[in-house]
């Protein structure tokens, strides 16, 4: 399921495809989502891995809600791969893909006008498909929450 799917007429594209839970059935890793990041342009065709925490989804939602010219949105972070989007005055996006182990690249994308609304819907679909089912009860202690699907 695509959490992010941005592309333009020039063939520049970034897709973040959530493939499932990182460690299903293991409380410490159950709510972490695994995703493939696909980035393509005339000069690159890359496939990278991203592990998405619940707070990453919250940050992505917050950033999307506030995104406007001169502002940015981020997913990922200091754990490895990060994707940073910056909106220019003409509403095109500059995308910085930074993977400390592999590469850093900048890509310009001119998405459709409705991409932000579309991505809010994508975020809702990911949350519905893989709801949070674990509660942290201590710094390294987890248990199933009472709303867990059987």
> Which residue in this structure is represented by tokens 């990278």?
48
pTM of whole model > 0.85? yes
| Size (the chain), residues | 150
Strand, helix or coil for residue 58:
helix
Per-residue model confidence as pLDDT tens digits over 64-121: 999 999 999 999 877 789 999 999 999 999 999 999 888 899 999 999 989 999 999 9
Q: For the residues 124-147, what does the mean pLDDT come to? A: 88
Q: How confident is the model at residue 150 (pLDDT cuts 50, 70, 90)?
A: low
Rounded to the nearest angstrom, the gap between the alpha carbon of residue 117 and the centroid of all alpha carbons in its chain is 15
How much is the CA Rg of the chain, to the nearest whole Å? Answer: 16
């Amino acid at each position: 399921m695509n959490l992010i799917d941005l592309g333009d007429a020039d063939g520049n594209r970034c897709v973040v495809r959530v493939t499932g839970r990182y460690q299903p059935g293991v409380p410490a890793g159950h709510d972490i989502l695994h995703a493939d990041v696909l980035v393509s342009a005339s000069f690159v065709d890359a496939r990278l891995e991203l592990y998405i925490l619940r707070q990453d989804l919250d940050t992505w939602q917050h950033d999307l809600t506030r995104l406007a010219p001169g502002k940015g949105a981020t997913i990922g972070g200091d754990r490895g791969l990060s994707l940073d989007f910056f909106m220019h005055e003409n509403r095109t996006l500059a995308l910085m893909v930074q993977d400390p182990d592999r590469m850093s690249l900048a890509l310009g994308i001119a998405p459709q006008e409705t991409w932000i609304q579309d991505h809010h819907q994508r975020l809702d679909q990911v949350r519905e498909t893989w709801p949070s089912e674990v509660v942290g009860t201590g710094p390294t202690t987890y248990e199933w929450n009472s709303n867990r699907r059987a």
